[in-house]
């Protein structure tokens, strides 16, 4: 299965009752953490189970680690196993935010050894705009065994490794936040504004087209054309969530050595000795 699947493909798989398929609803509102599950109860794709960004895909906030620390892999694997996901499951994930939260689960599934996850192109918005079937029936999946087998090709990095790689000629650091936050002109969430020195700004929403669907591979290759394929790429955002759609897009564009700085900006600024840059070298958004 590909990293991105179409609503047409998924509708066909649902119709033929593919027993290997698990659909996951990850809708979530950062300003109202209960809203996503309420939306799920009001209607969701047939057979979909619900996974919560903060209850399931993040650990408890601590002094370090950022606003959405990575969850404990054993706890995550147990929860996902209860929802019918095994290491061999074909998992399709959707949200209503352009794939931002869906991509977080997509990354985590790769990291813990689930071989075939994908994000639904256009997500909930496209599915419902096409009047495809939705339901209020809560799925009761048969529990599966999911063994957390850490995939070293999907390793994440901490602030120490990022600090070591600053200005390293073989590493490109990508900041996925919108430009006003990157340049420190406006910071609505974190206590310190700016970005990690040497980082390049690639706002994650720019991997989507005007309809909110993922850009084609050729467009993504052009989008990241100033990032050499041979380099190690470390991607971060505010808390490790919106970095993930950029990682998916980079993978689609052919980049193999891509890593997530899991704690991201909110972790970086929790260490007072870490350097901070603000934008007096403003470029146009890429």
Span 15-56, pLDDT tens digits: 998 988 999 999 999 999 999 999 999 999 999 999 999 999
Span 46-57, pLDDT tens digits: 999 999 999 999
Please state the three-class secondary structure of 17-84 as a single string. Answer: CCCCEEEEECCCCCCCCCHHHHHHHHCECCCCEECCCCCCCCCCCCCCCCCCCCCCHHHHHHHHHHCC
Contact 229, 254 (CB under 8 A): yes
Catalytic residue among 77, 162, 237, 250: 237
Task: State the average pLDDT for the chain.
Answer: 95
Q: Let me know if 237 is a catalytic residue.
A: yes
Span 190-214, pLDDT tens digits: 999 999 999 999 999 999 999 999 9
């Amino acid at each position: 299965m590909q990293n991105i699947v179409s609503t047409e493909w998924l509708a066909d798989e649902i119709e033929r009752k593919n027993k290997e398929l698990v659909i996951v609803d990850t809708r979530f509102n950062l300003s109202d953490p209960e809203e996503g599950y309420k939306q799920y109860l009001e209607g969701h794709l047939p057979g979909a189970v619900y996974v919560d960004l903060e209850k399931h895909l993040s650990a408890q906030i601590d002094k370090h680690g950022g606003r959405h620390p990575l969850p404990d892999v054993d706890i995550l694997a147990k929860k996902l196993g209860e929802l019918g996901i095994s290491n061999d499951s074909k998992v399709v994930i959707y949200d209503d935010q352009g794939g931002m939260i869906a991509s977080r689960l997509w990354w985590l599934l790769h990291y813990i050894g689930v071989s075939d996850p994908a994000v639904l192109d256009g997500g909930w918005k496209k599915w419902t705009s096409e009047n495809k079937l939705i339901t209020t029936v809560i799925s009761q999946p048969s529990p599966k065994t999911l063994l957390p087998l850490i995939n070293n090709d999907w390793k994440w990095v901490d602030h120490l490794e990022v600090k070591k790689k600053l200005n390293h000629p073989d590493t490109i650091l990508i900041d996925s936040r919108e430009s006003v936050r990157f340049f420190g002109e406006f910071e609505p969430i974190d206590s310190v504004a700016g970005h990690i020195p040497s980082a390049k700004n690639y706002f994650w929403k720019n991997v989507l087209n005007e309809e909110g669907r993922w850009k084609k591979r050729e467009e993504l290759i052009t989008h990241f054309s100033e990032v050499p394929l041979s380099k190690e790429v470390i991607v971060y955002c505010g808390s490790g969530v919106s970095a993930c759609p950029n990682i998916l897009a980079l993978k689609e564009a052919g980049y193999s050595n891509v890593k997530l700085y899991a704690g991201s900006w909110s972790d970086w600024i929790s260490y007072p000795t870490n350097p901070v840059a603000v934008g007096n070298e403003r470029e146009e958004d890429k």
